[in-house]
Chain A
Amino acid sequence: DTAVSQTPKYLVTQMGNDKSIKCEQNLGHDTMYWYKQDSKKFLKIMFSYNNKELIINETVPNRFSPKSPDKAHLNLHINSLELGDSAVYFCASSQSPYGYTFGSGTRLTVV
């Protein structure tokens, strides 16, 4: 059983489209995150939810909207995709302070 599963693994889409990435964890962790890894491999936090409540919202364009229907799920919806959104997006969960369990990442390519 995959602990943190993200879908899809790859996403290729045109500029201007809207897309969603889904994440589910079966570890019973209270906190979930979205991180963006750019082409230089830098990792930057985007959002964090604790038990369905948004607790971290970094400086991210409002075209990005997270949604957490329950504490096991955290989805990321992106509107009006731009070329600069191309990156790998990681979902992670944690039961602080034991470190993160990451999903396998979603490589988003905007053309």
Chain B
Amino acid sequence: AQTVTQSQPEMSVQEAETVTLSCTYDTSESNYYLFWYKQPPSRQMILVIRQEAYKQQNATENRFSVNFQKAAKSFSLKISDSQLGDTAMYFCAFMNTNAGKSTFGDGTTLTVKP
């Protein structure tokens, strides 16, 4: 069974600065997908970024980028130029290619301070 670990329950960052959220996972599979989801206080879960395990290039979506280290089973999320609207809980997730089932980490609550 896959496990996903987010070791930082809470983090804070000043507006306009950069912050990195950590995620590690454990799997015996060689091909899989990794995701970061955002859950703001509105409760809506939003997909932020996606990484395919067979691609070495790190995914980027505007101010959001990942550092994917397959050998280390690490998948961190970097948020650049943090904005107040980035305040949310962030979940790292692992998806098995066959079943389509995602396993989620416990989440990191990020607060962006003005």
Name A residues whose Cβ lies closer than 8 Å to a Cβ of B.
Answer: 31, 33, 40-45, 48, 50, 55-56, 88, 90, 92, 94, 96-102, 104-105, 107
Contacts and interface: CB of A to CB of B under 8 A. Distances in A.
A97 B33 contact: yes
Which secondary structure dominates chain B's binding surface?
A: strand
27 contacts: A31-B100, A40-B106, A42-B104, A42-B106, A43-B107, A45-B102, A48-B100, A48-B101, A55-B100, A56-B99, A90-B45, A94-B100, A96-B97, A99-B33, A99-B37, A99-B50, A99-B102, A100-B35, A100-B37, A100-B45, A100-B102, A102-B37, A102-B46, A104-B44, A105-B43, A105-B44, A105-B45
B100 A50 contact: yes
Contacts of A107: 43
Nearest to B39: A41
B38 to A, nearest CB: 11
A102 B44 contact: yes
Contacts of B39: 41
Interface of B: 33, 35, 37, 39, 43-47, 50, 52, 89, 91, 95, 97, 99-104, 106-107
Contacts of B89: 41
A29 to B, nearest CB: 10
Main secondary structure of the interface of A (DSSP, over half): strand
B95 A97 contact: yes
A99 B106 contact: no
A42 to B, nearest CB: 6
Nearest to A96: B100
A101 B47 contact: yes
